[in-house]
Amino acid sequence: MRNDERYRPKPQSNQLEIFGLGMAGEQDVAEAKKWIEANSEAWRFMLSNARRLKEKGYVSINYLVNMVRNELHVGCKNGIAPALARIMEARYPELRGAFNKHRSQSDGFSE
């Protein structure tokens, strides 16, 4: 049994948030967008692997982050991983539903 099944985390919130209030989730999404701009090659690498892994089933954003770290030697904070998953799903419709997401402070701020 996986931990997410054992502890029953709260589901992802689909409630939109108001930008400009300086909330932690908004800051995470802004930091993730800056990371994407600064590391476009690593972002494309994550996208291609997400598409490949989706064909096999569920995609883990943490796995993609670790692939970028280990294979491309590009730094990426763990804290922006949920925001990266939400941005990826918002920008690329073929990846919607690929990630097993739970509630995050970045819910409602992605695009």
What does pTM read for this prediction?
Answer: 0.73
* Residue pLDDT, tens place only, 42-86: 999 999 999 999 988 888 989 999 999 999 999 999 888 888 988
Q: Dihedral angle at the C-alpha atoms of 63, 66, 70, 73, nearest 10 degrees?
A: 140
Confirm if 106 and 88 have CB atoms less than 8 A apart. no
Burial 21-48 (b: 16+ CB within 10 A, else e): eebebbbbbebbbebbeebeebbebbee
The pLDDT assigned to 43 comes to 97
Q: Where do runs of H (alpha helix) occur along 68-102?
A: 81-91
